[in-house]
Amino acid sequence: MSRTEAILRLLLALFILPCNTSISSAASTADAFLHCLAAAIPPNLLHTPPSPSYSPLRLVRVPESVTVFTIRRSRKQLATHLIAKWQEIAPALPPDLYLRVVVHNQDAQFQSLFLGRCDRLVSLMRAHFSDLGMVRADCEEITWIQSTMYFAFHSSFKPLELLLDRGNKPDSYVKAKSDYVQVPIPWHVWESTWTWLAKQEAGILILDPYGGRMGSVAPSATPFPHRKGNLYNLQYYSSWSENGTDAFDKHMAWVRGLYKQMEPYVSKNPRTGYVNYRDLDLGRNELGDNVTSYAKARVWGEKYFKGNFERLAAVKAMVDPDDFFRNEQSIPPLPAAKGWNSM
């Protein structure tokens, strides 16, 4: 048995199996299992100890039916104007209404998920964003699980079994970078991005709104620090299937070039990013004495986690002091000399 397999089996024995066996079949629910699992995690290994208002593991209930829509507006249909307005409207929408923008080629797609029925959504959109011109015919009422298909596979009618397919079938190369926008980007800047999006090698831009529940949690309450004060996350995304350095260089240059152009209009000191859009341009780990250098890792780590990075490194030092589990951007163990007085 390998060391990795032994550690994974130990974690299974410590946390998962006791919860499976301690919950009777009559009372076995996802809620009960997660409550048990949360209670099994040692409090000193949590980023923040559990409290009545926060649990490290939680379920969110959704209604039987949700409503989705995708509305496309071209540059000629005032897409620039709509994106500029969206920046201030979307983060302030009711918490059960999510409205993102995907900008591709010469149009913007406004995609929504609403935890409710179409009639109510139409009323909300008229009140908050009438310029978009949303009508009832744009709605599609589906179940929540179907909405995951809608956003992942662009159709709510595909078989749900696709969600169970964990096979690794890469058929393209991908590069993504991200920013946090804290002040609305001016109209003329959005107008200038159409030139970038008209290029043959152009990718897409994805604008995900924050606000709502995201802004109600303190930045230090969880490892994820990008809370109040952020309007939305801006992702620069490119994928291509051609092999060779020419295609690689062309697509990477597009992402990096547009990212550089947007620098004056996004978060600063540091210029932050979203950890799940891994960006090795921000920095890579370096080893010293076969352990990841904490000082080097801070370069990229504080862009993802801000002031929470040191706390995460302190936890890493407790559970994996030898840095066995590591990659180009894994959390390093905090050097013993630095300590952490809150652990």
Catalytic residues, by residue number, are 277
- Taking the C-alpha atoms of residue 22 and residue 234, their distance in angstroms, rounded to an integer, is 44
Query: Residue type at 116?
Result: G
- Taking the C-alpha atoms of residue 204 and residue 176, their distance in angstroms, rounded to an integer, is 10
Query: Residue type at 263?
Result: E
- State how far the alpha carbon of 259 is from the alpha carbons of 182, 237, 245, 271, in Å: 16, 10, 21, 11
232-240 vs 287-288, strand pairing mode: unpaired
- State how far the alpha carbon of 107 is from the alpha carbons of 81, 136, 197, 265, in Å: 12, 22, 9, 22
Among the listed residues 89, 108, 102, the one whose alpha carbon sits nearest the alpha carbon of residue 236: 102
